[in-house]
Amino acid sequence: MTHRIGVVGASGYGGAELVRLASGLPTLDVAIVAAHSRAGEPVASVFPNLAGTRVFDEIDVDALGELDVVVLATPHGPALDLAPKLVEGGTPVVDLSAAFRLSADGFAQWYGEEHPHPQLTPATYGLPELHRRTIPDATLVANPGCYPTATLLALHPLLALVEPGSIVVNAASGTSGAGRTPTDTLHFAHVHGSASAYGAPTHRHTGEIEEHLGHGEQTSGPVQFTPHLLPTARGLLATCTADLRDGVGHDDVQSALHDAYDHEAFVQVLPSGTWPTTKAVHGSNGCQLSAVVDERTRRVVVSSAIDNLGKGAAGQALQNVNLLLGLPETTGLTAVGTYP
């Protein structure tokens, strides 16, 4: 059986990557590739790797509503408009924006505007390694951000082992994480051979990390998050540190990570002291993790590498689409990166 899906925002990096991943799969027919500003233009004129005669479609809610799943790869503004209409009509949605990742209060705090659909948020959080049981029955799935994906996979299994309020996250992403819209800070001459921090201490992903890191009675407390821009197109590395609780040691940390991920298709726990690299997961839906305990400072250091357009966006979206459609979760995806 072939399922018909649509991608809105297909002229952006995340949307185009999803089209690439889904194209040619016998289980999926990418029936609509919609882009507001590029409608009518050849897809190949923007992304030559998607060669062919296809053109970007107009955004037509009625046409999208006839599909089995719609993926929104737009900024949060259009998603706030489109997602409720599609969900009300019974069409499942995977949203790559931040429109429905946070509670209404959290959205107002971190995005500076009241949420127009508080009854729909937070939607089911689309990090399958943590929420696999709830995703298949969801009508609206909030695909996590790239920084939160890497950070949550690194820290979630360790939350009971560390002191609340002690978590520090330093993460770095390739320039594609900022999207296709050209800005002065993303000019090749400005980023080539350079690296810089930005957005701290109020980067919007901080709220997403804090809201989704806690589980049960466990809480992360405030998280210090500092993102960095790398002079590379894609790839993301998050290195997280936190104070260990009394009595927690190396074996506890390693056991927690292996218990959480040894059965997972897309998360690999590397031996302690072998550090993950973005090159190893380039072009994949994989995540590599490694952790060490610093006995001198009584802190744990855990590092996580993903492809920001793969597990950080389009790959994870396809993972969620597969779950919504009852397909094997790994369909069309691999944890093996392109190397070198």
At 182 the pLDDT is 65
Q: Is 199 left (phi over 0), alpha (psi -120 to 50) or beta?
A: left
User: CB–CB of 153/287 below 8 Å?
Assistant: yes
Q: Which of 272, 277, 264, 274 is nearest to 307 (CA)?
A: 277
Which residues contact residue 186 at a Cβ distance below 8 angstroms, ignoring those fewer than 6 apart? 175, 178
Catalytic residue among 59, 146, 169, 313: 146
User: Tokens 């969801």 belong to which residue?
Assistant: 138
Q: Which two tokens stand for residue 335?
A: 């944890």
Tell me if residue 287 is catalytic: no
CB atoms within 10 A of CB 333: 21
Comparing CA positions, the residue from 253, 269, 267 lying closest to residue 310 is: 267
Region class of 252: left (phi > 0), else alpha (psi between -120 and 50), else beta = alpha
pTM: 0.96
Q: Report the alpha-carbon distance of residue 263 to residue 135 in Å, rounded.
A: 18
Q: What is the CA radius of gyration of the chain?
A: 19
Q: Which of 105, 6, 93 is nearest to 56 (CA)?
A: 6
**Which residue segments constitute the domains of the chain, with CATH numbers given?**
3-143+311-324 (3.40.50.720), 147-308 (3.30.360.10)
Q: What pLDDT score does 186 carry? A: 75
Concatenated DSSP letters for 46-66?
T-GGG-SS-BPBP--HHHHTT
Which is it for strands 69-72 and 93-95: parallel, antiparallel or unpaired? parallel
CB atoms within 10 A of CB 301: 19
Q: What is the pLDDT of residue 187?
A: 72
Q: What is the pLDDT along the chain (340 residues), one digit of tens a residue?
A: 899 999 999 999 999 999 999 998 999 999 999 998 899 899 999 999 998 889 999 999 999 999 999 999 999 999 999 999 999 999 999 999 999 999 999 999 999 999 999 999 999 999 999 999 999 999 999 999 999 999 999 999 999 999 999 999 999 999 988 776 767 677 777 788 889 999 999 999 999 999 999 877 788 999 999 999 999 999 999 999 999 999 999 999 999 999 999 999 999 999 999 999 999 999 999 999 999 999 999 999 999 999 999 999 999 999 999 999 999 999 999 999 999 8
As a whole number of angstroms, the distance between CA 317 and CA 331 comes to: 12
DSSP tag of 157: G
